[in-house]
Structure 1
Amino acid sequence: MRVATFNVNGIRAAQRRGFEAWLAERDPDVVALQEVRCPPEQLPSGVFGGYHLAYEPGHLAGRNGVAVLTRTRPAAVRTWDGEVLLRAPGEEHLHTEPSPPGTMARGLSPFASEGRYIEVDLSDAPVTIASLYLPKGGLPAHLQKPNAREAPDGGARYERKMGFLASFARQLDRSRRAAKAAGREFLLLGDLNIAHTRQDLTNWRSSNRSEGFLPEEREWFGSILSPRTLVDVVRSVHPDADGPWSWWSWMGGAFDRDVGWRIDYHLATPGLARRAVAAGTDRPASGPERVSDHAAVVVDYAPAD
Structure 2
Amino acid sequence: MLRVATANINGIRAAHRRGFGDWLAMRGCDVVTLQEVRCPVDALPEKAFGDYAVAYDAGELAGRNGVAVLTREPAAAVRTWSVPDPDRPLPRALRTHANEGRYVEVDLADVPLTVASLYLPKGGLPAHLQDPRRMREAPDGGAKYDRKMAFMAGFARHLASSRKAAAAQGREFLLTGDLNIARARADVANWRRSNQTEGFLPEERAWLDAQLSPRTLVDVVRRLHPDVEGPYSWWSWLGQAYAKDAGWRIDYHLATPALARCAVSAVVDREHAGVRLSDHAPVVVDYELG
Give the structure-2-normalised TM-score.
Answer: 0.97
Aligned twin of 1:293: 279
SS of the residue aligned with 2:277?
A: coil
Aligned twin of 2:127: 141
Change (3 A) 1:102 1:60: farther
Q: How many residues align?
A: 287
Confirm or deny that 1:283 pairs with 2:284: no
Aligned twin of 1:186: 173
Q: Where in structure 2 are the equivalents of 1:20-169 lying within 5 Å?
A: 20-82=21-83, 100-103=85-88, 104-147=90-133, 148-169=135-156
SS of the residue aligned with 2:92?
A: coil
Question: C-alpha distance in 2, partners of 1:180/1:106?
Answer: 24
Equivalent of residue 200 in structure 2, options 213, 220, 227: 213
Question: C-alpha distance in 1, partners of 2:87/2:81?
Answer: 9
Aligned twin of 1:85: none
Gaps of 5+ in 2: none
**Amino acid of the residue matched to residue 227 of structure 2?**
D
1:107 is displaced (CA, Å) by 1.7
Aligned twin of 1:96: none
Question: C-alpha distance in 2, partners of 1:101/1:151?
Answer: 40
Q: Deviation string for 1:48-84 (max 9, x for gaps)?
A: 11100110000000000000000001000001111xx
Q: Deviation string for 1:119-146 (max 9, x for gaps)?
A: 0000010000000000000000010011
Aligned twin of 2:159: 172
SS of the residue aligned with 1:267?
A: strand
Aligned twin of 1:4: 5
Of 106-115 and 158-167, the range deviating more from structure 2: 106-115
Question: C-alpha distance in 2, partners of 1:272/1:285?
Answer: 28
1:111 is displaced (CA, Å) by 0.7
SS of the residue aligned with 2:254?
A: strand
8 Å CA contact 2:3, 2:284 repeated in 1: yes
Question: C-alpha distance in 2, partners of 1:254/1:47?
Answer: 29
Equivalent of residue 254 in structure 2, options 246, 254, 267: 267
**Amino acid of the residue matched to residue 139 of structure 1?**
L
Identity %: 66
Give the structure-1-normalised TM-score.
Answer: 0.92
1:257 is displaced (CA, Å) by 1.4
**Amino acid of the residue matched to residue 271 of structure 1?**
A
Equivalent of residue 185 in structure 2, options 190, 198, 217: 198
1:300 is displaced (CA, Å) by 0.1
Question: C-alpha distance in 1, partners of 2:248/2:256?
Answer: 24
SS of the residue aligned with 2:242?
A: coil
SS of the residue aligned with 1:289?
A: coil
Gaps of 5+ in 1: 83-98
Q: Deviation string for 1:217-250 (max 9, x for gaps)?
A: 0000110000000000000000111100000001
SS of the residue aligned with 1:132?
A: strand
8 Å CA contact 2:105, 2:114 repeated in 1: yes
Question: C-alpha distance in 2, partners of 1:241/1:156?
Answer: 35
1:285 is displaced (CA, Å) by 7.2
Question: C-alpha distance in 2, partners of 1:51/1:278?
Answer: 23
Poorly superposed stretches of 4+, deviation over 6 Å: none
Question: C-alpha distance in 2, partners of 1:164/1:150?
Answer: 21
Confirm or deny that 1:17 pairs with 2:3: no
Q: Deviation string for 1:128-176 (max 9, x for gaps)?
A: 0000000000000010011310110000000000000100000000000
Q: Deviation string for 1:81-140 (max 9, x for gaps)?
A: 11xxxxxxxxxxxxxxxx644432332101111000000000010000000000000000
Equivalent of residue 223 in structure 2, options 236, 245, 265: 236
How well do the aligned residues superpose, as a CA RMSD in angstroms?
1.1
8 Å CA contact 2:39, 2:66 repeated in 1: yes
